[in-house]
């Protein structure tokens, strides 16, 4: 977006005008127990009111949500080092193992939008605590599936527990996004970046932590430890977040459809989907390809850690830049362009003949670039959707925040499911090098769509602004004559 627009958030840290405070009967400020500044305040303070660390509750809220993101992501990622081998010993086929992994994002895709619609009725605090409880309980129970009979019984219970785990994860993620949008309105990019740092740390530490715990205590221990960690966060969340009260009891079932019909939200939703696709694309194919370099599983794991580490480091910076400049779509387009460069250099692509072949240092550079670029591609999406919703007259309250959170989680999850699927299919019929070219082509198409839409959107806004300025002299003249 070309200009930084004022935030219409009604939280205490933003000096919104009285007009916007009256848009909704249940605003974020009312929900979180905050009160907007006195109407006599001209908003000419030094800007410290817009800081993230204004109150103790804001600090504790951010810390607790970061812990939620870390624990939930780590518990999701611990399966990869040891579960496939254990599942094979329990007579599960390769297809069934893949579906056990893939059912999680599919359930989130279906459930997250529904949770977003229901969020204003049940409340973010209840949704978050219920989601954590479901996620933690199913995680602990998953540790005991190895005691079940081999074959169908084992596979069925794995599916059921993963479905419950996904429902809990969708509830916790959707509620967390809504809480962030309401509590940190004008700093949502910075806060989202900070939370994504803990997401990256969860992905980084989850697999090695799972491997260490599995070696120390067998199949049960990783799930009991991570499930216990999630349960231990529950009292912290319940203590810090205020109780849900004065919530609307009527569910606006048509809001989700109206949101998806807004062109800007639909285009950014496509960006989120493709970013999720990128994150999952390398999972099934990268390790087999790196065997040609003579790298074993431990070194391949370090390459994934490099990518996740660069993501975690760059995400807060990307969020801060998005907040300060307001040019979220420009940041997204630049991030996508660097993702294309990074994925093209990885193999490298067959037509990049000037790049050296099978060089580990080039793979390291590519993975680091991918991590940083994906953060620029994904982190600004939620602030952009919020701003777009405001421009189209949607109230800046918990109802809008919940629906947008559901859209974000649903599109990211379906992308995470499609990534390994497309990657596996393209490598079956093509080489790894050409499969990365396919991914770069998908990204290129999405960048062209986003760029053209942004240019058209900015042109439309300029024309509307020009028309309004042209009308002003005539309106004044009519007023004088009257």
**Domain CATH number, residue 165:** 1.20.1250.20
What is the span of the domain harbouring residue 423? 56-240+253-466
Q: Over range 292-318, report the average pLDDT.
A: 81
Q: Report pLDDT for 469.
A: 62
Query: Which helix or strand (DSSP H or E) is residue 23 part of?
Result: none
Task: Among 93-107, 153-167, 285-299, name the one with the lowest average pLDDT.
Answer: 285-299
Residue 27 lies in a domain: no
Q: Over range 60-73, report the average pLDDT.
A: 81
Residue 5 lies in a domain: no
Q: Which of 77-86, 291-300, 339-348, 399-408 has the highest mean pLDDT?
A: 339-348
Q: Determine contact, residues 85/92, Cβ cutoff 8 Å.
A: no
Residue 477 lies in a domain: no
pLDDT band per the 50, 70, 90 thresholds, residue 471: low
1, pLDDT greater than 50? no
Q: Over range 416-443, report the average pLDDT.
A: 83
Q: Over range 292-296, report the average pLDDT.
A: 77
Q: Report pLDDT for 340.
A: 93
Q: Report pLDDT for 40.
A: 39
Residue 453 lies in a domain: yes
Q: Report pLDDT for 42.
A: 41
Count helices and strands (H / E) in the chain: 18, 0
Residue 195 lies in a domain: yes
* β-bridge mates for residue 27, sequence order: 397
Of 304, 376, 407, nearest in space to 77 by CA? 304
Residue 446 lies in a domain: yes
Q: Report pLDDT for 452.
A: 92
pLDDT band per the 50, 70, 90 thresholds, residue 431: confident
User: What's the number of domains the chain is made of?
Assistant: 1
Question: What DSSP designation does 50 have?
Answer: G
Q: Over range 78-96, report the average pLDDT.
A: 80
Residue-wise pLDDT tens digits, 359-373: 888 889 998 999 899
Residue 481 lies in a domain: no
Residue 471 lies in a domain: no
Q: Report pLDDT for 138.
A: 92
Q: Report pLDDT for 261.
A: 85
Residues 6+ apart with CB under 8 A from 372: 310, 311, 313, 314, 338
Residue-wise pLDDT tens digits, 209-263: 887 888 888 888 889 988 888 888 888 888 877 676 655 556 666 777 888 888 8
Q: Determine contact, residues 14/181, Cβ cutoff 8 Å.
A: no
Q: Over range 139-166, report the average pLDDT.
A: 90
- pTM: predicted TM-score of the whole model, two decimal places: 0.71
């Amino acid at each position: 977006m070309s200009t930084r627009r004022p935030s219409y958030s009604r939280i205490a840290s933003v000096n919104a005008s009285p007009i916007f405070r009256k848009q909704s009967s249940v605003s974020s400020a009312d929900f979180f127990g905050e009160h907007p500044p006195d109407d006599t305040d001209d908003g000419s303070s030094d800007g410290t009111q817009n800081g993230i660390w204004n109150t103790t509750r804001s600090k504790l809220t951010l810390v607790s949500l970061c812990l939620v993101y870390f624990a939930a992501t780590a518990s999701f990622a611990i399966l990869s080092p040891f579960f496939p081998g254990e599942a094979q010993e329990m007579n599960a086929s390769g297809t069934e193992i893949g579906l056990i992994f893939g059912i999680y994002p599919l359930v989130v895709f279906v459930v997250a939008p529904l949770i977003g619609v229901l969020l204003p009725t049940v409340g973010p605090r209840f949704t978050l605590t219920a989601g954590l409880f479901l996620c933690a309980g199913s995680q602990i129970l998953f540790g005991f599936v190895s005691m079940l009979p081999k074959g169908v019984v084992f596979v069925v219970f794995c599916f059921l527990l993963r479905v419950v785990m996904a429902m809990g994860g969708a509830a916790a993620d959707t509620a967390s996004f809504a809480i962030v949008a309401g509590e940190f309105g004008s700093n949502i990019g910075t806060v989202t970046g900070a939370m994504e740092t803990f997401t990256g740390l969860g992905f980084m530490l989850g697999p090695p932590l799972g491997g260490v715990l599995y070696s120390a205590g067998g199949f049960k221990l990783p799930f009991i430890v991570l499930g216990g960690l999630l349960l231990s966060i529950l009292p912290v969340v319940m203590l810090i977040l205020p109780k849900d009260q004065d919530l609307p009891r009527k569910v606006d079932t048509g809001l989700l459809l109206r949101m998806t019909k807004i062109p800007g939200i639909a285009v950014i939703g496509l960006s989120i989907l493709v970013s999720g696709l990128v994150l999952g694309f390398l999972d099934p194919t990268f390790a087999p390809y790196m065997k040609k370099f003579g790298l074993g599983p431990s070194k391949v794991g370090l390459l994934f850690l490099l990518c996740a580490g660069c993501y975690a480091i760059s995400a807060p910076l990307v969020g801060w830049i998005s907040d300060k400049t307001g040019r979220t779509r420009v940041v997204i387009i630049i991030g996508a362009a660097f993702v294309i460069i990074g994925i093209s250099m990885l193999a490298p692509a067959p037509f990049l003949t000037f790049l050296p072949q099978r060089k580990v240092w080039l793979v390291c550079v590519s993975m680091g670039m991918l991590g940083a670029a994906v953060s620029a591609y994904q982190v600004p999406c939620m602030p952009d959707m919020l701003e777009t919703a405001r421009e189209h007259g949607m109230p800046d309250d918990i109802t809008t925040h919940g629906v947008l959170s559901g859209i974000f989680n649903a599109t990211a999850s379906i992308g995470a499911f499609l990534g390994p699927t497309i990657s596996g299919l393209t490598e079956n019929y093509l080489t790894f090098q050409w499969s990365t070219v396919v991914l770069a082509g998908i990204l290129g198409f999405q960048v062209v769509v986003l760029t053209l839409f942004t240019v058209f959107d900015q042109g439309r806004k300029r024309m509307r602004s020009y028309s309004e300025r042209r009308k002003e002299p005539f309106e004044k003249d009519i007023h004088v004559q009257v």
